[in-house]
Amino acid sequence: MITTLFRIIKYGVQSFIRNGWLSTATVAVMILALFVFQTLILFGVVAKTAILALQDKIDISVYFKIDAPEDDILKTKRSLEILAEVKKVDYVSRDQALTDFETKHKEDEIVSQALKELESNPLSASLNIKANDPGEYAAIAAYLNNETINAFVDKVSYSQNQTVIEKLVSIVDGAKQSGFIIGLILAGIAVLVTFNTIRLAIYSNREEIGIMRLVGGANYFIRGPYVVEGIFYGVLSAVLSMAIITPLITLVSPYISNFIPGISLQSYFYANFFSLLGYQLIFGIGLGIISSVIAVRRYLRV
C-alpha cells in the first residue's frame, strides 16, 4: 500500500514536471482563480466596513418643545430603547445643546455676541436615534407620531433625512446583491477555466491512460497521479497567489483608508494572514482534486 502510494505520488510529480509549459499555464489560471477568490473575501470586508460607516453617519433626531419636562423626555428615551429597531438613543439636554453650539461657533463673533444678548437658552433638548438597519427609520418615525409623544415634541428630523435614508437603503441593498452576483459569476468562470485547463493536461496523456487501461491498471492507480498533480497545482497556486496579493495589499491599503476612514486593509490582512492562506490552500487543493477526478473519468471509460 505504501509502495503504491509512493508510486502514485512519484508519477504525479513526474507528470507535473514533464508537462512544464502546460503545468505553468494551469498554475497561472489557478492563481487567477485563487486571486479572484481572495479578492472576493477582502472585498467583502471592505464593503461591510463601508456600509457600516455609511449607516453610522445617519440618524434621526427628535427636538422637544422648550417647556417639555425632562422626565417626559427621559421616559420617551426609555420607551425608544425598548424598540427592536433601535440601536442607540443619545439624550442631549438644553444645556449640553447650548455648550455644543457655542463650541461649534466659537470663532464666529456675531453668533457669540447674539448668544450673550439672549436672556435665556434658545435651544431645546433632543434625542438622537440610531437604528439597527437604515430601513427601520420609517418604523421609528411612525412610533414617534403617536399622540402621547407628539404632545411635547417640536419636530422629528426624519422627513428632512428621508431621501438620504432611502438612498442609503438602496445603496446598501444594491451593494449586497451586486457583490453576491459578481462573486458567483467570477467564481464560476474561475472554476470553469481551471477545470478545462486541467482537463487539457489529462487529454495530452490520453494515449498513456489508454495503455494503462489495456494492461489492467486499476482506476485509482490511473486517477491517483492526476489527483496528486491537482494537489500540486493547488498548493503552488495558493502560495504564489498569496505572494502576489501581499504587496498589492500594502500598495492599495492607504488609498482604501483614505476613501473609507476606520479601515486598515493591511492590518486586517496581516492579522488574518494564516487564515487567508488556509482558505487559499483549501480552495486550491479542492479545485485541483475535483477538476482532476471529474476530467479523468472520461478516459477511464475508454
Between the CA of residue 105 and those of 63, 101, 110, 114, 121, what are the distances in Å?
20, 6, 9, 11, 15
- Contacts of residue 1, Cβ cutoff 8 Å, sequence gap at least 6: none
Stretch 188-193: mean pLDDT, rounded? 68
Question: How many Å is the Cα radius of gyration of the chain?
Answer: 31
- Identify which of 56, 53, 58, 59 has the alpha carbon closest to the alpha carbon of residue 256: 53
Dihedral sign (CA 48, 49, 50, 55): positive
State residue 140's pLDDT score: 84
CA distances from 202 to 35, 116, 163, 209, 232 (A): 24, 86, 58, 9, 15
What pLDDT is attached to residue 185? 75
Nearest to 68 by CA among 79, 59, 76, 60: 76
Choose the weakest-confidence range: 11-20, 65-74, 110-119, 133-142: 11-20
Higher-confidence residue of 281 and 132: namely 281
Report pLDDT for 143. 83
Q: How many C-beta neighbours within 10 Å does residue 204 have? A: 13
The enclosing H or E element of 88 equals: strand 86-92
Q: Quote the mean pLDDT of the chain.
A: 76
Residue type (1 letter), 293: V
- Asked whether residue 267 carries a pLDDT value surpassing 80, the answer given is yes
| pLDDT tens-digit readout, 90-113 | 898 888 888 887 787 777 777 667
Residues 192-209: tens digit of each pLDDT: 766 676 677 667 666 766
Rounded to an integer, what is the distance from CA 84 to the centroid of its chain? 25
Q: List, in sequence order, every residue forming a beta bridge with 156; answer none if it has no partner.
A: 62
pLDDT at 55 over 70: no
Locate cell 486499476: which residue? 218
**Domain extents in the chain:** 2-54+169-300, 66-151
Report residue 87: phi and psi, to 5°. -90, -45
| pLDDT bracket for residue 70 (50, 70, 90) | confident
Name the range with the highest mean pLDDT among 15-24, 39-48, 138-147: 138-147
Listing DSSP states for 144-165 in one string gives HTSHHHHTSEEEETHHHHHHHH
Between CA 287 and CA 273 the distance in angstroms is: 21
Residue 302: what pLDDT?
A: 45
* Pairing label, strands 86-92, 60-64: unpaired
Which pLDDT score, from 0 to 100, does residue 121 have? 76
In this prediction, residues 216-240 reach a mean pLDDT of 77
Q: Do 40 and 183 form a contact (C-beta atoms < 8 A)?
A: yes
Give CATH for domain 66-151. Answer: 3.30.70.3040
